[in-house]
Amino acid sequence: MRKFNFCAGPAALPQPVLEQAQRELLDWQGLGCSVMEVSHRSPEFVEVAERAEQDLRDLLSVPSNYKVLFLQGGATGQFSAVPWNLLGAGSSKAEFIHSGSWAAKAIKEARRYGEVNVVASSEDRNFSYAPAADSWQSSGDAAYFHYTPNETIGGVEFGYVPEVECPLVADMSSTILSQPIEVEKFGVIYAGAQKNIGPSGIAVALIRDDLLDRSLENIPRSLSWKVAAEAGSMDNTPPTFAWYLSGLVFQWLKGQGGVDAMAKQADAKSKMLYDFLDSSDFFSSPVEEGSRSRMNVPFVLADDRLDKQFLIESEEAGLLSLKGHRSVGGMRASLYNAVPMEAVEALVAFMADFEARKA
């Protein structure tokens, strides 16, 4: 019996996708072998790759002047790829909003290749909120402006898209495909797959065409967006199984009603959990109300001596991976697309019972 998985990543995958992959594992498309055993350049796999790209374009309404890339190295690889690809044409400055752990990692990497201007930070209140748009101002001379719309660890989500003069770059690893986005507002969108797209081992990037010729000299070939775009994301052997599974997730999302349907579900799931937290004297959210994430919900117990018991009992109840990130402690429930409403209902019921017994 499958349990309810609240892991922040690698995260839950849709059960129908896993079942299809299971059926096809040994004999894919009647070829007598697995999709993992065929050439990435075979007609059969090229069709998988092309359909995955088109389905992602359809889901996010990606304009024709954007390349859709399937890349290795996860979002962390893109922390390096972004400055490598964008700091070579004029300005060597990048601007950032520092909203938590993942923004910090992107900032640290960008500083290796150019000047970084942090225009706003929420460090003053332990990264418990998203800095307001009127609290900062871009200098106007940066090569790009980077932000993290959702901080997976801290559970902070931006309620707006920054308006800047330079290309806007967003790490959407934990929110992509959870709601409609206006791709045209961004120069670059990148995301690790292991939350709302598919398994770990692959990342997607949407790159506006005019940004493909701005790289630093001697950019590593494996990090070049231009090389990847010209090769159809196949300059070297790609992670074919992760690409195949991501494509199945895209098809599943279309069958569920696309990102509009996912947005409604995300709102309903997160509201149920936040409503419980706000009504409780035993559990609470450390995130300011206007910045709470729909995808990642951290929470703490009034008595942290009960943390270990909570985790033991929740796992026994079939509620997996509720331990908070090691850097912040507490608990965290990740509510990605593949986590059903029934999982949240079960979690809230368990928390209410635990409170009744332990408070």
Kindly report the three-state secondary structure assignment for every residue of the chain. CCCEECCCCCCCCCHHHHHHHHHHCCCCCCCCCCHHHCCCCCHHHHHHHHHHHHHHHHHHCCCCCEEEEEECCHHHHHHHHHHHHHCCCCCCEEEEEECCHHHHHHHHHHCCCCEEEEEEECHHHCCCCCCCHHHCCCCCCCCEEEECCEECCCCEECCCCCCCCCCEEEECCCCCCCCCCCHHHCCEEEEECCCCCCCCCCEEEEEEHHHCCCCCCCCCHHHCHHHHHHCCCCCCCCCHHHHHHHHHHHHHHHHHCHHHHHHHHHHHHHHHHHHHHHHCCCEECCCCHHHECCCEEEEEECCHHHHHHHHHHHHHCCEECCECCCCCCCEEEECCCCCCHHHHHHHHHHHHHHHHHHC
**Euclidean distance between CA atoms 158 and 99, whole angstroms:** 9
Pick the CATH number of 15-256 from 3.40.190.10, 3.40.640.10, 3.30.930.10, 2.60.40.10: 3.40.640.10
pLDDT at 91: 87
**289 residue type, one letter:** E
pLDDT in tens, 318-356: 999 999 998 888 999 999 999 999 999 999 999 999 999
Domain residue ranges of the chain, discontinuous segments joined by +: 15-256, 258-358
**Whether 292 contacts 150, CB under 8 Å:** no
Please report, for residues 50, 113, 144, 323, the alpha-carbon distance to residue 308 in angstroms, rounded to integers and kept in the order given. Answer: 47, 42, 43, 9
Give the C-alpha separation, 295 to 314, whole Å. 20
**pLDDT computed for residue 291 by the predictor:** 98
CB-CB contact of 146 with 171 (8 Å): yes
Fold for the domain defined by 258-358: Aspartate Aminotransferase, domain 1 (3.90.1150)
pLDDT at 90: 83
pLDDT at 168: 97
CA within 13 Å, CB half, 108: 8
The whole-angstrom separation of Cα 322 and Cα 175 is 19
Task: State the chain's maximal CA–CA distance in angstroms.
Answer: 63
Q: How far, rounded to the nearest angstrom, does the alpha carbon of residue 48 sit from its chain's CA centroid?
A: 22
Q: pLDDT digits over 288-319, tens only?
A: 999 999 999 999 999 999 999 999 999 999 99
pLDDT at 57: 98
Residues of the chain with pLDDT under 70: none
Which two structure tokens, joined as six digits, stand for 316? Answer: 């026994």
pLDDT of residue 138: 81
Angle at which helices 258-279 and 240-256 pack, to 10 degrees? Answer: 80
Q: How many CB atoms lie within 10 A of CB 29?
A: 13
Residues designated as active site: 102, 171, 195
Tokens 């225009």 belong to residue: 119
Q: CA dist 163 to 145, 159, 272, 317, 348, Å?
A: 10, 13, 32, 45, 38
